[in-house]
Amino acid sequence: MDQIPYQSLPDVLRRHAAELGTRPAIKFRKQGSFVVLNYAQYYDRALMVTRGLRKLGIEPGDRVAILSENRAGWIIADMGILSAGAVTVPIYPTNTPEQVTYALTHSEARIVFVSNRSQYRKLLKYHDALPQLKLVVSFERFLGEPGLPVTTFYQLSEIDDPILDDERREIEGVIDGINPDKLATIIYTSGTTGIPKGAMLSHGNLLFDAWYTIKKAGVLGDREVLLSFLPLSHVLERTVGYYLPVLKGGLIAFAESFEKIAENMVEVKPSLIVSVPRLFEKIYSRIFESVHQLSLFKRTMFRRALSIGRRYIYARYIEHRVGLLLQAQYLLADRIIFTKLRQRFGGNLKLCCCGGAPLDKEINEFFWIIGIPIIEGYGLTETSPVICINTFQQLRFGSVGTALEQTEIGIALDGEVLVRGPQVMQEYYKDPEASREAFEDGWFKTGDIGYLENGFLFITDRKKELIITAGGKNIAPQPIENLLKRDKYISQAIVFGDRKPYLTALLVPTLERLIEFALENKINYNDVADLVVHEPVRKLYEQRVAAANESLAHYETIKKFQLLPRDFSVEAGELTPTLKLKRKVIAEAYHDKIEEMYAEH
């Protein structure tokens, strides 16, 4: 068993600054062109932040928050906080003022980094409830309000004053004192239900998880280019999209926005991206919509190529035995069709990491077929997050892979997945009762239902989200929702039926496809709310749902549905920042529509 050669996260950056020096570390767009910082510059910028924090009285163990979208300043601030021996408290930039206030007060953060005035205004709303907050540091320049002072990131860092030798020695003395057991971060769970809990993760938790994920993946080199767009406040992006490439001496390039990901992929040519299933679902839909526009001959060629590709990936990655004829057929399909699809991703993508929610098996297979392997794994905020992953050597579609080294997975009598290993959190911050409830005989209780098969873990659903019908059937809603979302006319779906006689669903149409359908069928309408109640639209969706029902057991079929005129959103509180459905919120918001589907029973 190999030993992790680092004591802390800042220790990694310090060593890389000395050993790699001029190797590119961070890439971001500023005023229209890309700026690149190498490892030595990244480290110096982080030490400047540390210097500024220490002048403000930040001591080891103090909490400092970051409330910002992804940007270079985020990871520079984080390393600066950690190098001071302090604790980073990341807050989702999509959080409401109430949620922001809760995280800041509960963690007792003394300083908060914000991206802009919009985030600052969230602090102003409940300023009186934040007496411990002494200063706001902004990545962008704006004037603060009386009583809540603002300084800029550059002013805090004193960017024009290089780190002096004695300052460097003093800070590095602090870094030397950070051992793997020291607390690195408190991450508040985004929470599909209940009050957020602060998971306490140590330097050792995060280092272990990144180090052994790299080792298990087995294909990551020391010059990977990662395109960062998933929120850094999410533990998956934090560990796999930030600490992991820093551990490998790779380059982290920041996407300008979620809307510009496709454009940035072509510019940056990443070899690695980290995402949640929603991105892959959308790309899959768009590709198949493009195929739908092709001639019959080209559509037939595409389907033939996919059929060859599916046989090839199973032969190569599952059976580990590929015949010469199949190899030749796949190479031809790849040259004619799949290579062109990969160019949309920059042409250099080695693999994608996917977590946060289950990825539909058919979508996963499709990306492997076209030569963009998605390494699906599983974990939680409380486990830093990776517990297990699929790899090129150990792959089962539909599973979330096999465990990392030194990590044990168990299944409780009720089917709940249990885990223990060096990546599991210390406890929940200031919540001994929740901490006690989270563990049983040394095992962390994940709250997910699953099973093990030949070492591979299969997750079937969240323990609290299982639907138990009036007839006593236990049904996992997510696989049904994923099946519905594969339809080109359905953007989002949520299934109901707990203690009810049958399943129902709320469906959000794919707006572009629905508008095309309305034009083709000459439907007159005022707005989307008007369009979704038109009889031809209703009949269309009845057909689409009936087609999905054909592959389901009778008790799993959707008997009734309602069409909604808008997407579920983070802003409306219906999705978590990682785009998971908040079932309770949606059920309350659409209570009347749901009950209407059961009214005639």
Stretch 191-196: mean pLDDT:
63
Same domain (yes/no): 516, 459: no
Q: Is residue 23 part of a domain?
A: yes
Q: How many CB atoms lie within 10 A of CB 565?
A: 15
Same domain (yes/no): 381, 487: no
Query: For position 191, what pLDDT does the model report?
Result: 54
Is the pLDDT at 192 greater than 70, yes or no? Answer: no
CA distances from 87 to 10, 63, 81, 110, 208 (A): 12, 5, 7, 11, 18
Query: For position 286, what pLDDT does the model report?
Result: 86
Q: How many domains does the chain have?
A: 3
Same domain (yes/no): 319, 459: yes
Query: For position 31, what pLDDT does the model report?
Result: 87
Q: Is residue 513 part of a domain?
A: yes
Residue 40 in contact with residue 119, Cβ under 8 Å?
Answer: no
Q: Is residue 529 part of a domain?
A: yes
**By C-alpha distance, which of 596, 525, 523, 514 is closest to 561?**
596
Distance CA 47, CA 52 (A): 9
Instruction: Name the percent of the chain in helix, strand, coil, to the closest 5.
Output: 40, 20, 35
Stretch 504-518: mean pLDDT:
93
CATH of the domain at 564: 3.30.300.30
Same domain (yes/no): 254, 282: no
For 540, list phi and psi in degrees, rounded to 5: -60, -50
Same domain (yes/no): 564, 454: no
Q: Is residue 212 part of a domain?
A: no
Query: For position 455, what pLDDT does the model report?
Result: 97
Same domain (yes/no): 53, 88: yes
Percentage of the residues of the chain whose pLDDT score is greater than 90: 82
Residues 6+ apart with CB under 8 A from 19: none
Amino acid code (one letter) for 564: L
Which residues, in sequence order, are bridge partners of residue 27? 36, 253
Query: Strand 374-379 relative to strand 402-403: parallel, antiparallel, unpaired?
Result: unpaired
Is the pLDDT at 499 greater than 70, yes or no? Answer: yes
Q: Tokens at residue 559, please?
A: 């008997």
Same domain (yes/no): 425, 473: no
Q: Is residue 257 part of a domain?
A: yes
Same domain (yes/no): 407, 534: no
Q: Is residue 403 part of a domain?
A: yes
Residue 101 in contact with residue 130, Cβ under 8 Å?
Answer: yes
Query: For position 190, what pLDDT does the model report?
Result: 63
Rounded to 5°, angle at Cα 388 from 209 and 334: 110
Same domain (yes/no): 365, 265: no
Query: For position 356, what pLDDT does the model report?
Result: 79
Query: For position 586, what pLDDT does the model report?
Result: 95
Q: Is residue 31 part of a domain?
A: yes
Stretch 228-239: mean pLDDT:
94
Give 194's pLDDT tier (boundaries 50, 70, 90). low
Distance CA 523, CA 506 (A): 23
CATH of the domain at 389: 3.40.50.12780
Give 495's pLDDT tier (boundaries 50, 70, 90). very high
Stretch 155-164: mean pLDDT:
96
Query: For position 553, what pLDDT does the model report?
Result: 86
Q: Tokens at residue 97, please?
A: 């003022």
**By C-alpha distance, which of 390, 572, 432 is closest to 492?**
572
Same domain (yes/no): 472, 564: yes
Amino acid code (one letter) for 404: L
| pTM reported for the whole predicted model | 0.87
CA distances from 25 to 35, 123, 505 (A): 11, 32, 46
Q: Which of 419, 441, 463 is the last residue in one of the domains?
A: 463
Give 394's pLDDT tier (boundaries 50, 70, 90). very high
Q: Which of 463, 488, 509 is the last residue in one of the domains?
A: 463
Stretch 212-225: mean pLDDT:
95
Same domain (yes/no): 577, 470: yes
Q: Tokens at residue 568, please?
A: 């579920």
Residues 6+ apart with CB under 8 A from 416: 445, 446, 447, 448, 449, 463
Can you spell out the DSSP letters for 130-179? -TT--EEEESS----BTTB-EEEHHHHHTTTSPPPHHHHHHHHHHHHT--
Query: For position 600, what pLDDT does the model report?
Result: 65
Q: Is residue 189 part of a domain?
A: no
- Domain with 449, as residue range(s), is 275-347+349-463
Rounded to 5°, angle at Cα 223 from 218 and 225: 95
Q: Which of 436, 463, 490 is the last residue in one of the domains?
A: 463
Query: Cα 472 vs. chain centroid, distance in angstroms?
Result: 34
User: Which residue's entry shows tokens 């920042």?
Assistant: 577
Same domain (yes/no): 280, 419: yes
Is the pLDDT at 1 greater than 60, yes or no? Answer: no
What is the average pLDDT value for the chain, to the nearest integer? 94
CA distances from 521 to 415, 456, 508, 524, 545 (A): 49, 48, 20, 9, 20
Residue 269 in contact with residue 347, Cβ under 8 Å?
Answer: yes
Is the pLDDT at 150 greater than 90, yes or no? Answer: yes
Sign, CA dihedral 31-37-41-47, equals positive
Q: How confident is the model over 430-462, as pLDDT tens digits?
A: 999 999 999 999 999 999 999 999 999 999 888
Give 463's pLDDT tier (boundaries 50, 70, 90). confident
Is the pLDDT at 391 greater than 60, yes or no? Answer: yes
